[in-house]
Structure 1
Amino acid sequence: MRNLLQESPGSPFSIPISQNPNSSLKESGLLGSGLHNWLFECHGFLHNVTLILASLAFVLYLAFQAKKSVTKLSHGRSYIMIAYYGCLWLVSLLNLSWCCFQAWECTAGKELTWNILSLFTTSGMLFLEVSLIAFLLQGNYASGLEALTRTFAVSALIVGLDILLKAIYMFGLGIPLFIDSNEQQHHMKWSLWVVHRLVLTAVYGFILFMYHSKWRERLPARPAFYKYIVIMFTLNALALFACGLTVNGTDFGFWLYSTTIVCYHTFYLPLLYVTFLADFFQEDDLHLENVYYSEMKDAGFFDADWE
Structure 2
Amino acid sequence: MWRRRFPEAQIRIVDSSMSESPSSSSILAVDADLRSDDCDRFFWYDSFLVVLSVLFVLYLALQARKNLKRLANGGSYVVISYYALLWFVTLLNLAWSFFQAWQCSPGKEVAWNFLSLFTTAGMLCLEISLMAFLLKDNCMNSMETLARTFLVSGIVVLVDALLKTIYVFGFSVPLFNRNVGSTHTVKWSLWIIHKLLLAMAYGFILFVHFSKRREKLPPRPAFHNYVVVMFVFSAIALFSCGLAGLGMSLGNWLYDLTVLCYHSLYLPFLYATFLADFFQEEDFLLDNAYYSEMKDAGFFDADLE
TM range (shorter): 0.7 to 0.9
Measure, in 1, the Cα distance between the counterparts of 2:201 and 2:40: 33
CA deviations on 1:17-43 (whole Å, 9 max, x unpaired) are xx7743438xxxxxxxxxxxxxx9355
Shift of 1:294: 9.5
Q: Percent identity?
A: 51
2:103–2:109 Cα contact (<8 Å) kept: yes
CA deviations on 1:122-153 (whole Å, 9 max, x unpaired) are 10000000000000111424222221111111
- List aligned pairs for 1:3-152, cutoff 5 A: 21-24=33-36, 41-152=39-150
The letter of the residue matching 1:241 is F
1:140–1:219 Cα contact (<8 Å) kept: yes
- Shift in CA distance, 48/184, structure 1 to aligned 2, threshold 3 Å: closer
Measure, in 2, the Cα distance between the counterparts of 1:251 and 1:41: 18
1:235 equivalenced with 2:247 (yes/no): no
Counterpart position of 1:166? 164
Measure, in 1, the Cα distance between the counterparts of 2:290 and 2:217: 18
Select the structure that is richer in helix: 2
The letter of the residue matching 1:288 is F
Counterpart position of 2:258? 260
Measure, in 2, the Cα distance between the counterparts of 1:237 and 1:20: 36
Q: CA RMSD in A?
A: 2.1
- Shift in CA distance, 192/20, structure 1 to aligned 2, threshold 3 Å: farther
The DSSP-based 3-state class of the residue aligned with 2:264 is helix
Counterpart position of 2:274? 276
Counterpart position of 2:207? 209
Measure, in 1, the Cα distance between the counterparts of 2:269 and 2:166: 31
Measure, in 2, the Cα distance between the counterparts of 1:262 and 1:20: 25
User: Rg bigger for which structure?
Assistant: 2
Shift of 1:44: 2.1
Counterpart position of 2:178? 180
Shift of 1:50: 1.1
Structure 1 stretch 148-157 or stretch 212-221: which is displaced more? 212-221
Counterpart position of 2:155? 157
1:42–1:105 Cα contact (<8 Å) kept: no
- Shift in CA distance, 208/287, structure 1 to aligned 2, threshold 3 Å: closer
The DSSP-based 3-state class of the residue aligned with 1:108 is coil
Measure, in 2, the Cα distance between the counterparts of 1:79 and 1:292: 15
- In structure 1, runs of 5+ residues without a counterpart are 1-18, 26-39, 296-307
- Shift in CA distance, 192/66, structure 1 to aligned 2, threshold 3 Å: same
Counterpart position of 2:220? 222
Shift of 1:221: 1.1
CA deviations on 1:163-198 (whole Å, 9 max, x unpaired) are 000011011111121011354442111100000000
Measure, in 2, the Cα distance between the counterparts of 1:24 and 1:249: 23
The letter of the residue matching 2:267 is L
- In structure 2, runs of 5+ residues without a counterpart are 1-30, 292-305
Measure, in 2, the Cα distance between the counterparts of 1:89 and 1:267: 15
2:49–2:97 Cα contact (<8 Å) kept: yes
The DSSP-based 3-state class of the residue aligned with 1:279 is helix
2:241–2:252 Cα contact (<8 Å) kept: yes
Measure, in 1, the Cα distance between the counterparts of 2:139 and 2:272: 15
Could you tell me the TM-score, scaled by structure 1's length? 0.80
CA deviations on 1:56-105 (whole Å, 9 max, x unpaired) are 11111111011111111111111111111110000000000011111111
- Shift in CA distance, 179/287, structure 1 to aligned 2, threshold 3 Å: same
- Shift in CA distance, 189/42, structure 1 to aligned 2, threshold 3 Å: farther
- Shift in CA distance, 264/141, structure 1 to aligned 2, threshold 3 Å: farther
- Shift in CA distance, 227/48, structure 1 to aligned 2, threshold 3 Å: same
The letter of the residue matching 1:272 is L
2:181–2:252 Cα contact (<8 Å) kept: no
Aligned residues: 262
Counterpart position of 2:16? none
CA deviations on 1:252-292 (whole Å, 9 max, x unpaired) are 0010000000000011001110111111100x5x3633456
2:102–2:108 Cα contact (<8 Å) kept: yes
1:242–1:256 Cα contact (<8 Å) kept: yes
- Shift in CA distance, 184/264, structure 1 to aligned 2, threshold 3 Å: closer
